[in-house]
Amino acid sequence: MHTAILGTQWGDEGKGKMVDMLAEDKKVKAVVRFQGGNNAGHTVVVKGEKYAFHLLPSGILYQDKTCVIGNGVIIDPQVLLSEVELLESKLGKKHANLLISEKCHLIMPWHIVIDQITGGKIGTTSRGIGPTYKDLVGRRGIRFMDSGDKKSWQEKVSEELSWNKKYIDLLCQVYKVSKEEQNKLELNKKLSLKTIVQNYWTWLSKLRKNSLVKVGDVSLFLDKLQQQGSKILFEGAQATLLDIAHGTYPYVTSSNPTLGGLYIGTGFRPKDLRVGGVVKAYTTRVGAGPFPTELNNKIGEKLREKGYEFGTTTGRPRRCGWLDLTIVRYAKLINGLDFLAIPKLDVLTGIKPLKIAVGYKINGKVKDTFTVNEKELEKAKVVYKTVDSWKEDLTKCRRFTDLPKQAQNYITTIEKLTGVPVKLIGVGPGREQIIKKQ
């Protein structure tokens, strides 16, 4: 049976760690990333060594796997090359094979410039993600397959650069970007045709020449694995409430981190698929947008400090709040969740009182599933359930029965109020600190 691991909240739930652990299964032959770009960040800790990935799938540390970057992922080739080179500086060639879809779109310098000018209100990472997806949908994008021949590559880049220079000039007028600010953006340097063509050709060529990296047809590869009876593990970036269609719009990402994105982002239909939702033991989000259970107090600060809630990609401090089960029920509705994984249960040790959001009171009626209607959220009053806290250290627990009764109750409360069984529980950053709940 194949497995998809998805975020259920606003991202940063700890999906990478769960994917890394599940990839240990010898029957899993491929780990597939199917959407997003280097605005995502997954952190894996193995034997005290910390690995931060942005484009590489979390299973990259296993030599017997193939890590796949599907067509739904957009790639900054400089970032991907840097990740591969950094990994190989630590491990040499002792990592998984990497297959990149030839259909992947490339993040170009003009995308990053456009994002820097326009992305402030939403709180983007300024890495060119939204503008690249916009070009993808607008049929102006440049794909990996366009870099096969240097002459045609230069022609393609020249055409798109010319168009985007005019567009950026217009944006500078609309957004009232001063000449001084334009100089800070280094537009002339970043938008030099010669520099772009040479740099990108170098980065893409180095990736192609790496013996463990291939560019090809992801759909055919995955179909062949399925026919052979191999297991495939799918890894979502970001999370349900950041989905462009189903999240807290417009404070969302530009792709589909929900289950539907898997099919679009791979061109493959997995059969016998189970879907796991990762639910951080509390709730966090980065950037602007609604957050009903946010704690702007000492408890919120304590969660941020104990959980080290700072973005893997940007380093930005995350907003912290109580676990919101209305969100988890919404994620269950959108993705059809079969099981849950709960990382960072250990962070809640010593937090008293301990609360869980179970509904919203809107216009006198209690709603138990999250609403992405911003006007309704503005009127909503959160309904909380107070649960017993604990003071014991959880980091050395390895079985569910090792947990104090109050921590066990926290998990069983989540199961009862969502109707989804919890299978995995994180009690620390290490790969070995995941409890498999029977």
Interval 229-266: pLDDT, tens: 999 999 999 999 999 999 999 999 999 999 999 999 99
CATH architecture for segment(s) 105-209: Orthogonal Bundle (1.10)
pLDDT of 387 > 90? The answer is yes
Domain boundaries, the chain: 2-102+217-436, 105-209
pLDDT on residue 311: 76
| Contacts (Cβ under 8 Å, ≥6 apart) of 205 | none
Per residue in 169-203, pLDDT tens? 999 999 999 999 988 889 989 999 999 999 999 99
**pLDDT score for 350:** 96
Q: What is the pLDDT of residue 44?
A: 79
DSSP 305-361: HHTT-B-TTT-PBPEEE-EEHHHHHHHHHHH---EEEE--GGGGTT-SSEEEEEEEE
**Looking at residue 313, what is its pLDDT?**
67
- Hey, what CATH topology would domain 2-102+217-436 get? Adenylosuccinate Synthetase; Chain A, domain 3 (3.90.170)
**Which phi and psi angles does 391 have, rounded to 5°?**
-120, -5
Which pLDDT score is estimated for 48? Answer: 76
pLDDT for the residue 212:
97
Nearest to 28 by CA among 277, 257, 270: 270
> Which of the residues are catalytic?
12, 42
Element (H, E) at 424: strand 422-426
Query: Could you tell me the pLDDT band of residue 368, with boundaries at 50, 70 and 90?
Result: very high
| Whether the Cβ atoms of residue 84 and residue 56 lie closer than 8 Å to each other | yes
pLDDT tens digits, 3-17? 999 999 999 999 998
Mean pLDDT over the full length of the chain? 94
Is there a contact between 110 and 76 (Cβ–Cβ < 8 Å)? no
Question: Could you write out the DSSP letters of every residue in 343-407?
Answer: --GGGGTT-SSEEEEEEEEETTEEE-S----HHHHHH-EEEEEEE----S--TT--SGGGS-HHH
HSE-CB for 185 with a 13 A CA cutoff: 23
Cβ neighbors of 107 (< 8 A, separation 6 or more) are 37, 38, 74, 75, 76, 127, 128, 129, 132
pLDDT digits (tens, 9 = 90+) for 53-78: 899 998 999 999 999 999 999 999 99
pLDDT at 163 over 90: yes
Residues in the chain: 438
Q: What is the rounded average pLDDT of the residues 315-340? A: 96
Interatomic CA distance for residues 130 and 120, integer angstroms: 12
What the block records as the tokens of 30 is 């491929």
Closest among 84, 82, 127 to 106, alpha carbons compared: 127
Task: Name the phi and psi angles at 68, rounded to 5.
Answer: -120, 130
Q: Where are the beta strands (DSSP E) in 197-305?
A: 213-216, 231-235, 273-278, 283-285
Q: How far apart are CA 365 and CA 317, in angstroms?
A: 34
Contact 410, 355 (CB under 8 A): no
Mean pLDDT, to the nearest integer, of 367-391? 93
Across the range 384-402, mean pLDDT stands at 97
Lowest pLDDT segment from 21-25, 293-297, 428-432? 428-432
Beta-strand pair 74-75/97-101: unpaired
Question: Who has greater pLDDT, 438 or 399?
Answer: 399
Reading phi first (left if > 0) and then psi (alpha if -120 to 50, else beta), residue 273 is in beta
CA 372 distance to own-chain centroid: 20
CB 277 within 8 A of CB 340: yes
What pLDDT does residue 120 have? 73
What pLDDT, on a 0 to 100 scale, did the predictor assign at position 438?
A: 81
Assess contact for 113 and 119: CB atoms under 8 A: no
* Between 314 and 261, the higher pLDDT residue: 261
Please report the DSSP string for 23-34 in residue order. Answer: TTSTTEEEEEE-
pLDDT tens-digit series, residues 86-114: 999 999 999 999 999 999 999 999 999 99
